[in-house]
Amino acid sequence: MPDGLEPSLASSLVANGISGLFAHQAEAWEAAHRGENVVVTTGTASGKSLAFNLPVLDAIAREPKTRALYLYPTKALAQDQARALTELRVKGVRPAIYDGDTPPERRWQIRKWSNLILTNPDMLHVGVLPHHDRWGDVLHNLRYVVVDEAHVYRGVFGSHVANVLRRLRRLARIYDADPQFLLASATIANAGELAGALIGEPATVVEHDTSPRAEREVVIWNPPLLDPELGQRASPLGEAARLLSQLASQGFRTICFTKSRKAAELVHRFASQRVEIATAARLAPYRAGYTPEQRREIERRLVKGDLLGVTATDALELGIDIGLLDCAISVGFPGTVASLRQQWGRAGRRGRGLAVLIASEDALDQFFAREPDALLSRRVEAAILDHANPRILDPHVLAAAFEAPLDQSDEGTLGPEALERAAALPELEETPAGYVWRGRDYPAARISLRSGDTDSFTVVDATSGALLGLVERDRAYSTVHEGAVYLHLGEQYVVEALDLETRVALVAPASVDWYTQVKPARPRARLRAGGRLRTGGRVRTQSGPGRLDDRRRADAHAGDDLRDGGCLVLSRTTPPGGARADAGPPGDAPRSRARPYRAAPAPGDVRPLGHRRALDQRPLPDRSTDDLRLRRSCGRCGDHLPWV
């Protein structure tokens, strides 16, 4: 243990089986004690959490009034770390979670009582900084800010978070505090550069991983060819289900990562159908959209070892402690080598592990299947962000001006770009105190850090009234529209109604051998103009009464049949918007002429339109989950369909 470690903290660590530090953990401890910002970038299961926890716990154990703020990109990570910190039982340390699931009556208690607050950037952005007067004691005593899974903060999301952290530094200084930043990241090519871009200050990089590594078998699995002439291969989801079911049946604890929520539910359902009932009860899907209680229950079963297999999106890719796993399956290359290593790193933490990449039909996946060395020798990517992009920076400048007047003294925290933009923004007013917000609301509420809509629809079982889950608004129209098959915890439901005003989707239990997938239609519009033609130099203008010929396809979705690969085209329950309005000169009443199209069903009635047929005319083998497949397009209508 480091010299000078607070005695009660040292005793708590020993009681939890921690009797010493790895060299990289000791290096991080020394840098933190020198007052430096630190970023630890080492492999999965290398002890990064202890590296940033140690200086924080030591400071709080010595002075309980000290405050620390932990930022996690997901709620699951915060829950996991809160559980681990509570189990350490360090004297004077009072951890608490502050996120969207925290009851309002408990939030004021956390501000007054907790000295180690675990939250996420979104909550810091809208729940803390705009209301900093309520958080004055926390900001005044803020000693450490921990940013875990820092490699996630790249691109647009990372650029937003970088501005949020700069606003935090600014307010902390207003309250006479200057916190240190401790960051933890998976192995990336530019950890120091990323840390500096996020917090606006330099950081010491700790990157030499000295933790022991277990042996791991790596398998690149290319689904078998079904049609060599067309290059058609078996479904990667079917292959994943087959592997998961076989590994779980033999007692190997396995996690299977998919690229979408629906894929996670489908692989779970396919795998559950292939194993005995007792084994199926020990399989579970995990994705966003479940209620907090459902997520906590799955996490609890994972940690306890009750589950043999879990299918998940990247929600479990990050560093949540999910117990000891034997195998990790990735369905399709996740996009970056860093993400793939994160997924594979979930298995074999304490012994020999198995890592599998099931190649999809994507060209890059097929290249890696042919050239596995190109994948295994590939360097991890750099994480890039640009906090000064005006489209991202401007809203945060407005938010900062709402929090406190902007003046030249803020250049050190917000950067010179912020003051330049403040002078150009009409929403701000220059006063003797600085630039201030002129509006009545608070601008932080207008900014979505993740470039998505935070509004959610509630999914309710119409037969029992039970709350099943939540769906973001931008997903609701494609996943819980009327007639859609909704998959939840491996069970099937058919959506009976979607109420856009109350944001409730009513679903009923169902047992079908098909699922639905939206096929977005692109509207086509032509503007026809008549009248006189005028020319002059290089300018060519045409004016006069015109006609807008707006031809839109009826929105539809394809129901993919799991038995015979058929294409079932279903219309939406809204009219197909195929009217053409002929507009004459001003004052004339528009003439409407309906364009013939597939008839729309009555509200609540979803029925087949067009056809249902096998998409491949060749004799098909037994259509089990091993060989689920669909051709790229329907032989009758030519509509392109995704592979199942």
DSSP state letters, 208-261: ---S----EEEEEEPPPEEETTTTEE--HHHHHHHHHHHHHHTT--EEEE-SSH
Q: Which residue's entry shows tokens 């990323």?
A: 194
Long-range contacts of 187-190 (CB under 8 A, 24+ apart): 187/41, 187/42, 187/43, 187/338, 187/341, 187/380, 188/41, 188/151, 188/338, 188/380, 188/381, 188/382, 188/383, 189/379, 189/380, 189/381, 189/382, 189/383, 190/382, 190/383, 190/384
Cα-Cα end-to-end distance for the chain: 54
Measured CA distances, 455 to 120, 347, 476, 478, 584 (Å): 17, 35, 10, 15, 41
Average pLDDT over residues 561-584: 38
* CATH class of the structural domain 216-376: alpha beta
Most confident of the following: 167-181, 478-492, 601-615: 167-181
- Average pLDDT over the chain, rounded to whole? 81
Q: Decide if 450 contacts 122 (C-beta within 8 A).
A: yes
Among 491-500, 508-517, 589-598, the least confident range:
589-598
Are 202 and 162 a contacting pair, CB within 8 Å?
A: no
Q: Let me know: does 91 contact 7? Beta carbons within 8 Å.
A: no
Strands (E), 159-203: 180-185
Provide the greatest CA pair distance for the chain. 91
pLDDT at 510 over 50: yes
Quote the CA–CA distance of 80 and 418 in Å, as a whole number: 36
Fold assignment, 7-206 = Rossmann fold (3.40.50)
Average pLDDT, integer, range 61-71? 96
Query: Is the pLDDT confidence value at 574 over 60?
Result: no
On the question of a common fold for 7-206 and 216-376, the answer reads yes
Enclosing H/E stretch for 71? strand 67-71
Which segment, 133-147, 217-231, 434-448, is predicted with the most confidence on average? 133-147
- Strand pairing partners for 608? 570
Q: Mind listing the pLDDT tens digit for each residue in 344-401?
A: 888 876 667 899 999 998 899 999 999 999 999 988 889 999 999 999 999 999 999 9
Half-sphere exposure of 622 (CA within 13 A, CB side): 3
Segments making up each domain of the chain, as ranges: 7-206, 216-376, 390-446, 456-594
Query: Which H or E run contains 522?
Result: none
Sign of CA dihedral 382, 181, 414, 429: positive
Name the residue type at position 555: D
Distance (Å, whole) CA 434 – CA 274: 67
Percent of the chain whose pLDDT exceeds 90: 51
pLDDT above 70: percentage of residues in the chain: 78
Tokens of 141: 């005593």
Count Cβ atoms below 10 Å from residue 284 Cβ, excluding itself: 22
The DSSP code for 128 is: I
Provide the token pair at 320: 């949540």
Tokens of 263: 């894929």
For residue 421 the two structure tokens come to 């933009």
Residue environment code for 401-439, b if the CB has 16+ CB neighbours within 10 A, otherwise e: bbbbbbeeebeebbbeebbebbeebebbeeeeebbebee
